[in-house]
Amino acid sequence: MKNILIVDDEVQICEMMADLFESRGFNVSIAHSGNSGAKSFKESNFDLVVSDVRMPDGDGFSLARQISEIDPAFDKIVFITGFLDAESTDVPSNVRNFFKKPVRFKELLSFIEEILA
Protein backbone atom coordinates (compact mmCIF):
# COMPACT_ATOMS: atom_id res chain seq x y z
CA MET A 1 0.00 0.00 0.00
CA LYS A 2 1.34 3.42 -1.00
CA ASN A 3 1.69 6.27 1.51
CA ILE A 4 0.71 9.82 0.60
CA LEU A 5 1.42 12.97 2.58
CA ILE A 6 -1.04 15.84 2.05
CA VAL A 7 0.20 19.28 3.09
CA ASP A 8 -2.32 22.13 2.99
CA ASP A 9 -3.40 24.79 5.46
CA GLU A 10 -7.03 24.39 4.36
CA VAL A 11 -8.50 21.60 6.51
CA GLN A 12 -11.45 20.99 4.18
CA ILE A 13 -9.18 20.40 1.17
CA CYS A 14 -7.04 17.99 3.20
CA GLU A 15 -10.12 16.04 4.28
CA MET A 16 -11.53 15.82 0.75
CA MET A 17 -8.24 14.61 -0.70
CA ALA A 18 -7.71 12.17 2.18
CA ASP A 19 -11.18 10.66 1.66
CA LEU A 20 -10.55 10.33 -2.08
CA PHE A 21 -7.09 8.76 -1.74
CA GLU A 22 -8.14 6.42 1.09
CA SER A 23 -11.12 5.24 -1.01
CA ARG A 24 -8.55 4.15 -3.61
CA GLY A 25 -6.51 2.19 -1.07
CA PHE A 26 -3.78 4.70 -0.20
CA ASN A 27 -2.57 5.39 3.33
CA VAL A 28 -2.81 9.13 4.00
CA SER A 29 -1.12 11.46 6.46
CA ILE A 30 -1.92 15.16 6.75
CA ALA A 31 0.12 18.22 7.72
CA HIS A 32 -1.08 21.82 7.73
CA SER A 33 2.15 23.71 6.97
CA GLY A 34 5.35 23.22 5.04
CA ASN A 35 7.43 22.90 8.18
CA SER A 36 5.12 20.31 9.78
CA GLY A 37 5.04 18.49 6.44
CA ALA A 38 8.84 18.32 6.38
CA LYS A 39 8.80 16.94 9.93
CA SER A 40 6.27 14.26 8.92
CA PHE A 41 8.34 13.40 5.83
CA LYS A 42 11.43 12.98 7.97
CA GLU A 43 9.63 10.72 10.46
CA SER A 44 7.84 8.40 7.99
CA ASN A 45 8.22 6.88 4.55
CA PHE A 46 6.06 8.42 1.84
CA ASP A 47 5.66 7.50 -1.80
CA LEU A 48 4.17 10.86 -2.78
CA VAL A 49 3.65 14.35 -1.36
CA VAL A 50 0.74 16.57 -2.43
CA SER A 51 1.28 20.13 -1.21
CA ASP A 52 -0.30 23.53 -1.44
CA VAL A 53 2.14 26.22 -2.55
CA ARG A 54 1.19 29.17 -0.35
CA MET A 55 0.87 28.37 3.34
CA PRO A 56 1.92 29.99 6.59
CA ASP A 57 4.84 28.40 8.45
CA GLY A 58 6.67 27.14 5.40
CA ASP A 59 5.36 27.24 1.83
CA GLY A 60 5.42 24.42 -0.71
CA PHE A 61 8.70 25.55 -2.24
CA SER A 62 10.51 25.43 1.10
CA LEU A 63 8.90 22.03 1.77
CA ALA A 64 10.21 20.70 -1.55
CA ARG A 65 13.71 21.99 -0.73
CA GLN A 66 13.58 20.42 2.76
CA ILE A 67 12.44 17.10 1.29
CA SER A 68 15.35 17.26 -1.16
CA GLU A 69 17.76 17.69 1.77
CA ILE A 70 16.17 14.76 3.66
CA ASP A 71 16.03 12.45 0.61
CA PRO A 72 17.80 13.77 -2.51
CA ALA A 73 16.36 10.95 -4.64
CA PHE A 74 12.70 11.66 -3.77
CA ASP A 75 11.00 13.21 -6.78
CA LYS A 76 7.27 12.67 -6.33
CA ILE A 77 5.88 16.01 -5.18
CA VAL A 78 2.71 17.45 -6.66
CA PHE A 79 1.74 21.07 -6.02
CA ILE A 80 -1.78 22.40 -5.84
CA THR A 81 -2.19 26.16 -6.06
CA GLY A 82 -4.72 28.90 -6.48
CA PHE A 83 -2.12 31.30 -7.81
CA LEU A 84 -1.25 31.44 -11.49
CA ASP A 85 2.21 32.88 -10.86
CA ALA A 86 3.44 29.82 -8.98
CA GLU A 87 4.63 28.02 -12.11
CA SER A 88 6.82 30.95 -13.14
CA THR A 89 8.90 30.72 -9.97
CA ASP A 90 12.00 28.53 -9.78
CA VAL A 91 10.36 25.16 -9.32
CA PRO A 92 12.40 22.59 -7.38
CA SER A 93 13.35 19.62 -9.55
CA ASN A 94 11.54 17.14 -7.28
CA VAL A 95 8.14 18.69 -8.17
CA ARG A 96 6.40 16.59 -10.82
CA ASN A 97 3.31 18.68 -11.60
CA PHE A 98 0.99 21.57 -10.68
CA PHE A 99 -2.77 21.39 -10.30
CA LYS A 100 -4.79 24.60 -10.08
CA LYS A 101 -7.39 25.23 -7.40
CA PRO A 102 -10.20 24.47 -7.44
CA VAL A 103 -8.65 21.05 -7.90
CA ARG A 104 -10.26 18.60 -10.30
CA PHE A 105 -9.84 15.64 -8.02
CA LYS A 106 -10.35 13.02 -10.74
CA GLU A 107 -7.46 14.53 -12.76
CA LEU A 108 -5.27 14.68 -9.66
CA LEU A 109 -6.08 11.10 -8.72
CA SER A 110 -5.44 9.88 -12.26
CA PHE A 111 -2.01 11.56 -12.28
CA ILE A 112 -1.13 10.18 -8.84
CA GLU A 113 -2.16 6.63 -9.74
CA GLU A 114 -0.04 6.89 -12.89
CA ILE A 115 3.16 8.01 -11.16
CA LEU A 116 2.71 5.52 -8.30
CA ALA A 117 1.98 2.54 -10.58
Domains of the chain: 3-116 (3.40.50.2300)
DSSP string for 13-81:
HHHHHHHHHHHTT-EEEEESSHHHHHHHHHHS--SEEEEESS-SSS-HHHHHHHHHHH-TT---EEEEE
Core vs surface per residue 43-79: b (16+ CB within 10 A) or e? eeebbbbbbbbebeebbbbbbbebbbeeeeebebbbb
- pTM for this entry: 0.94
pLDDT digit string, tens, across residues 57-114: 999 999 999 999 999 999 999 999 887 655 556 788 899 998 998 889 899 999 999 9
Q: What's residue 82's pLDDT?
A: 82
- pLDDT band at 12; cut points 50, 70, 90: very high
